[in-house]
Amino acid sequence: MSAVTPSVKLPRLAVTGRLAFHRVLLSEWTKLRSVRSTKWSLFAGFLLTIAFPIIFSFVTRSHWGSMSASDRAGRHPLDIALAGVNVAQLAVAVLGVLLISAEYSTGSIRSTFTAVPKRLPVLWAKLLDYAVVVLVLIVPAVLISFFASQAILSSISQLHMSFSQPGVARAVLGGAVYVMLVGIFALAIGAIVRNTAGGIATFAAIFFVLPPLMFTLPTSWNNAISQYLPSNAGRQLFALQHASHTLTTWTGGLVFVGYCAAAIVIAAILLVRRDV
């Protein structure tokens, strides 16, 4: 016979003093850098951002002579250079969910909210710390991937592209901004769901399951709806060319920022209203 353990709610303590935000920021930074999963996930994101473009560049160069004209036309140097962004986003998203869901699973969130009774500064600090870390890490990664892929493809004149060409720098750096926003969105999802498996599953459903499902709809419906999905809208940040049924760079970026803002607002409301 097993005893049923009653759920314990965290009492809301009266705020008797002023807690400086920079101390909350420092506390969350200490958590971020001291957890082993942080280092592995960020390293994976950095490595994947660089590795995939290099691999695709070598494959493209070795098969270029045997490719048909249509296959060659389908190879764009920017698509090759930023191929790792679509893979790295998963590592960044998983870590984003873990940053807050792990505290709920271990119960350490109680200590966090005891130290910061207002709660919301914890969310702001986590978001800010993670956004800065991801951006600082991914910007060099996308730059390395671009110049490395161009060096490998230098013998193919059709795939040569200068960083100073119109829109190229914006697209390359837009890839890093996209990954950062993915991390912010995933962290907010983690705060909403409060469960690691549930948070990762929710993110995967939105980014990897929902877009392919749109192809079951009539083409006109798919073209009208898919461009507003978070993943499709966000990817316009690092797209150099846009189809007739996709959003422009800035419109797509703003739509994706809107999704991130909505997720953060929902997470903030639930964080204040729910008991731990």
Contact, 145 vs 54, CB < 8 A?
Answer: yes
Model confidence pLDDT, tens digit, residues 178-233: 999 999 999 999 999 999 999 999 999 999 999 999 999 998 999 999 999 999 99
pLDDT at 119 over 90: no
Place of tokens 């731990």: 276
Contacts of 201 (CB under 8 A, 6+ apart): none
pLDDT score of 18: 66
Which 8-state DSSP code applies to residue 205? I
Contact, 187 vs 100, CB < 8 A?
Answer: yes
d(CA 153, CA 79): 13
Q: How confident is the model at residue 7 (pLDDT cuts 50, 70, 90)?
A: very low
